Amino acid sequence: MKKESLYKYLLLLGDNSMILAHRLSELCGHGPALETDIALTNISLDLFGQVRSYFQYAAELKGGDATEDSIAFLRYGREHYNCILLEQPNVDFGHVIARQFFFDLFQKLQLEQLVSSNDKKIAAIAVKSLKETKYHLRFSSEWIKRLGDGTEESHERMQSAIDNLYPFVGEFFKETDLEKEMKEEGIGADLFLIKSAFDKEVMKTFAEANLKIPEIASRMTQGKYGIHTEQLDYILNELQYMQRAYPNMEW
């Protein structure tokens, strides 16, 4: 296994959490209720904590002057490997919950495999992250059911969010050459196995929520290859502003 491959795999894992965490941070103070606002903020903090673990390890592999901060704040858009779903905007609460649910479920199933990774550091990160992710999934799945099986308006908004976001979900399971290499090394997850479990759980949750899986073809998405929508540029402009405006700044 090449060190560069492991480094890039850590970026792929970390970027998913980082971009979603930033999207959630945009909602701080804007939640529909105080309890929900705090919950979303705490989920964002959990995800940033996961990012730190991945990027600290990545910095060790990269060597030189690399740090978790330089990896987070000094890479350009094409050097990010997050899935396109996670950079989609916070259109309304329904979109926030649908996006969160899809990621939480995928993340839980992926982490359940990564706890047995041949890479001991990735396994250790997965063990800690899985505890948090189970809570995240419980939160988002309960809201899926409350909104889907709630009022006529909440149902329509929830179904509309799912219709808009579901076409991006397929990218989670499109195995890149890098992910195939990591799987074969016993380091990464098997996306085929994850997809089977993912589909079953989505069907079960949507049935309870009186929601439908849209019959919409998956979109052509290449976020894991560094090709993104303009939404990532907006995110990075905010996320990286301080480090780029004031290089090497410290608190």
We report the CATH number of the domain holding residue 96 as 1.20.1260.10
Asked whether the predicted pLDDT for residue 187 surpasses 70, the reply is yes
Mean pLDDT of all residues in the chain? 90
**Total domain count for the chain?**
1
Domain containing residue 28: 3-245
CB neighbour class for 229 (10 Å; exposed up to 12, middle 13-18, buried from 19): middle
CB neighbour class for 161 (10 Å; exposed up to 12, middle 13-18, buried from 19): buried
Token look-up 């592999």 returns: 61
Q: What is the mean pLDDT of residues 214-240?
A: 83
Asked if residue 117 belongs to a domain, the reply is: yes
Asked if residue 250 belongs to a domain, the reply is: no
Asked if residue 199 belongs to a domain, the reply is: yes
Local structure of 70: helix, strand or coil: helix
Asked if residue 230 belongs to a domain, the reply is: yes
For 8-42, how does the pLDDT look when each residue is reduced to its tens digit (9 = 90+)? 999 999 999 999 999 998 877 766 766 776 888 88
Please give the pLDDT value at position 251: 59
Please give the pLDDT value at position 141: 95
Asked if residue 15 belongs to a domain, the reply is: yes
* Range in 33-42, 198-207, 228-237 with the lowest mean pLDDT: 33-42
Asked if residue 40 belongs to a domain, the reply is: yes
Q: Which of 158-172, 217-231, 234-248 has the highest mean pLDDT?
A: 158-172
Asked if residue 124 belongs to a domain, the reply is: yes
Long-range Cβ contacts of 166-170 (<8 Å, 24+ apart): 166/98, 166/102, 166/213, 166/214, 166/216, 167/214, 167/216, 167/217, 167/218, 167/219, 168/83, 168/84, 168/85, 168/88, 168/218, 168/219, 168/221, 169/85, 169/102, 169/106, 169/218, 170/218, 170/219, 170/221
Share of the chain above pLDDT 70, in %: 96
Please give the pLDDT value at position 31: 67
Please give the pLDDT value at position 63: 86
Please give the pLDDT value at position 1: 58
- Closest C-alpha among 28, 4, 197, 161 to residue 85: 161
**CB distance 139 to 188 below 8 Å:** no
Asked whether the predicted pLDDT for residue 242 surpasses 90, the reply is no
* Range in 35-44, 161-170, 174-183, 198-207 with the lowest mean pLDDT: 35-44
Q: Write the DSSP symbol of residue 73.
A: H
Asked if residue 38 belongs to a domain, the reply is: yes
- Supply 72's token pair: 């987070």
Asked whether the predicted pLDDT for residue 247 surpasses 80, the reply is no
> In 117-229, which residue ranges form alpha helices assigned H by DSSP?
120-148, 152-169, 177-184, 191-209
Asked whether the predicted pLDDT for residue 99 surpasses 80, the reply is yes
